[in-house]
Amino acid sequence: MITLRAAQMAELDRIFVLRFVEEIVQHIPHYAPRLYQIVGEAGIREAVRDGVQRAASYGFTNRGPSRLFVEMQFSLGTAFDTDPLLPWASELLHDRAAGQMLRATRLHQCVTAYLDDVTGPRGEHALAALRALTAADPLRQLSSGTRDSILSAFWLVHPRKARAAGEAALLHLIRAGCGEADRLSLGGIGRALICCLMFGFGHGVLHDPLYAWVGNTLRHNTTGDPSVRAERLYRKTMLYVARVRDYFASDEM
């Protein structure tokens, strides 16, 4: 009879996790091809590794539930599990009375219904939001960065997502976004921009490896002028949105 020591078991677990992470990394080009192209394999691997660890913290240790958790990060943002716009995700994840397979099944049902409603079965609602953002360019009209103006922009650009979240959650997100912008001294346009990025890409977007260009732009400031950082982030945001819009639009053809 072979007896494995604790150190040997730990090494086997580590090897299993590494192989599982690699398996999911190879799956992402098919699941989220646009993100894979933009982020690159190194960033994707970092996000997947983090996702597998976060999944385990909720007791998602089986392959199916763990993979579902990572896929939800790519669909909703890596911090979807704490996002105020997605309270149902947090509630289901914390329902430890249910086993991980049952919770995963419920999460899959909820996220499928949510994405169908907000993004659209063929991405049509997301494309409409991207077109509205690039056509009207509402961020330029938000230099005051007031709560009401930002809330109105949410409803103008993506009414389906705003309705799904509800006003209380949207205001919670705006308070958090304005707090981050004020901490960075970004001014009115910066407040609107941070809030809209959190609304569009998840409330953890400033630290999300899938959108590393956001955090990198805010951290790398050679001029010392916060307004320059805000302007650079604005230009990068609009360029990114335009490219994603064109990518979704190409699927219509």
Confidence tier at 136 by pLDDT (50, 70, 90): low
pLDDT over threshold 50, residue 224: yes
For residue 135, the Cα-to-chain-centroid distance in whole angstroms is: 23
- At position 162, the amino acid (one-letter code) is A
Q: Return the minimum-mean-pLDDT range out of 16-25, 26-35, 116-125, 243-252.
A: 243-252
At 169-188, the pLDDT tens digits run 999 999 999 999 999 888 77
- CB-based contacts of 172, cutoff 8 Å, min separation 6: 84
Task: Give pLDDT, residue 140.
Answer: 64
The predicted model gives 118-145 an average pLDDT of 81
104 contacts 64 by C-beta, under 8 angstroms? yes
Task: Give pLDDT, residue 8.
Answer: 39
pLDDT over threshold 70, residue 253: no
Helix, strand, coil shares, percent, the chain, to 5: 80, 0, 20
pLDDT over threshold 80, residue 153: yes
More confident residue, 85 or 243: 85
- At position 199, the amino acid (one-letter code) is F
Question: What is the residue extent of each domain of the chain?
Answer: 11-118, 124-250
CA 112, CA 104: separation in Å to the nearest integer?
Answer: 12
The predicted model gives 234-239 an average pLDDT of 89
The predicted model gives 12-17 an average pLDDT of 62
Task: Give pLDDT, residue 185.
Answer: 87
Q: Return the minimum-mean-pLDDT range out of 2-11, 56-65, 88-97.
A: 2-11
Written as six digits, the tokens of 246 are 């064109």
